[in-house]
Amino acid sequence: DELPPLSDGVELVELIEGEIMVKGSPSTKHQRLVLAIARMLLDTVPDGHVFIAPLSVRLDDYNSFQPDVFWVSANNPHCEIREDQVVGARDLAVEVISPGSARIDRGIKFEKYQEHGVREYWLVEPELAFLQVWLLQDGRYTQHGIFAAGETFSSATIGKEVPLQNVFPE
């Protein structure tokens, strides 16, 4: 006999505009994609720090997010890496869209990452196997492109070609 799960899994807690928001445990597909993106970044970017959720990133007193994946360059003066959280704007934030997060990822997180100077924001669409890349230019995000499984794109923030061939499952 198999035992049922004791709970739905880990809950992620974020502070969004001063409101505590609790998200349920992500799906296995979501987590495989998060790990593939993190692995790709670790292989592509030699310096800096790659992190995955759950790890809080405090932007201000009213907003503390847990991005699925994020990267802080080794020479980022606007970000402080502490033992229990990261404070300030990191260089790259990645959110993998899920049915329960789409509105927030495309809305308030987009706005707050932009406002706080996150240089590049990737929105990953797992069901359609593509990602949107947004670059911060003159304080506003502009869409750099939409890239599908197997493609490679140039990241201005990372300063390298980013390969997607091993990111999306076949």
Domain 26-163, CATH class in plain words: alpha beta
What is the tens place of the pLDDT at every residue in 9-57?
557 889 999 999 988 888 889 999 999 999 999 999 878 999 999 888 9
Neighbours of 55 (CB within 10 A): 15
Point out which residues pair with 19 in neighbouring strands. 16
Q: Residue 47 has which token pair?
A: 């310096």
The domain spans of the chain are 26-163
Instruction: Please choose, from the candidates 11, 35, 13, the residue with its C-alpha nearest in 3D space to the C-alpha of residue 25.
Output: 11
Phi, psi of 118 (to 5 degrees): -70, 120
The C-alpha atoms of residue 160 and residue 28 are separated, in whole angstroms, by 29
pLDDT tens by residue, 59-117: 999 999 999 999 999 888 888 889 988 998 889 999 999 988 899 999 999 999 999 99
